[in-house]
Amino acid sequence: MDSARRDRTIGFLCLGVTAFGWALNWPLMKLLLQQWPPLFARGLAGVCASLILGALALGRKESFAVPREAIPRLLFATLTNVLAWMGLGTVAMKYVTVSEGALLAYTMPIWAMLFAWPVLGTRPTMRDILGLVLGVAGVALLLGGHGFAFGADKLLGIALALLCAILFAFGNVLNRKALPMPPLVVVAWQVGLGCATMLILGILFEHPDITAITPLGLGCFVYMTLVPMGVCYVTWFETLRRLPPTSASTGMLIVPVIGVVSAAIILGEPLGLREWAAMALTLGGVTLALQRA
């Protein structure tokens, strides 16, 4: 096997590990939220994960120094990539199902395509508009299965999941230039700063009962800390190093699919024709939006 083919094979293996690791986190996080409040649970897991990522970076002898001119960009990325994506997304999971939360969150590339027009001057094409229509149709099909008469909690969950996707997309459009630091160091800083903020807010306002966790909940917490916020970041960077960005991003569309299927198995959430059709429409629209990347 030549070097290029070996790199591609390893890249796809890393992509598979990343996708499955992040996907299984959706139902396991839902289980954990039955015992611990969202900001505290995600914040504590993230702080622990950032220490692990930091140790890995130190093992590679990578510098943690942040250039002064990069500090504002690092803080902005922390706001959109951690506080918005992880924080708002986790709180949303208290009020919506995994299928609703995952599909709403993974509309992010559609919002990024829309933001690219005023921010970068990239006008949407007919393909982009078709992607938007498909994405909206998929979300509408999923959310409207039992009519659109939502209660206050459901509306709050939908709003938080959408806001999480929109802010993450906005951050991706504005933060297109990589920070001048090793990727693992960047993630360690962002996850550490963002999740420490979540942890403090969780302690102050959620008043968590640490003793409420069961062995099952503890297992979910350990998984969240080690796999999606630890191993998967390492394999994701390997994926990006070995595969074209568009291939890697498109491949990640398997995450909500695995997340929804695993939620049906683990949590008993509904998984019928409507859910499959909604996923096909939404992810079809997202795929079209990703072609611009």
Average pLDDT, the chain: 91
pLDDT at 290: 81
pLDDT at 127: 87
User: What's the DSSP call for residue 72?
Assistant: H
pLDDT at 144: 80
pLDDT at 207: 94
Is residue 50 pLDDT above 80, yes or no?
yes
Is residue 160 pLDDT above 70, yes or no?
yes
Q: What are the pLDDT digits (tens) for 102-121?
A: 999 999 999 988 998 898 88
pLDDT at 151: 87
Q: What are the pLDDT digits (tens) for 236-277?
A: 988 988 888 777 888 888 999 999 999 999 999 989 999 999
Is residue 146 pLDDT above 70, yes or no?
no
Q: Average pLDDT in the 200-227 region?
A: 96
Q: How far apart are CA 84 and CA 89, in angstroms?
A: 7
Q: Average pLDDT in the 119-132 region?
A: 87
Confidence of residue 1 (pLDDT cuts 50, 70, 90): low
Contact present, 261 and 271 (Cβ < 8 Å): yes
Q: What SS3 class is residue 190?
A: helix
pLDDT at 121: 86
Is residue 88 pLDDT above 60, yes or no?
yes
Confidence of residue 149 (pLDDT cuts 50, 70, 90): low
Helices (H), the chain: 3-32, 38-59, 71-78, 89-92, 98-105, 108-120, 126-143, 152-174, 183-201, 215-226, 232-242, 245-251, 254-266, 273-290
**Is this model's pTM higher than 0.85 or not?**
yes
pLDDT at 21: 96
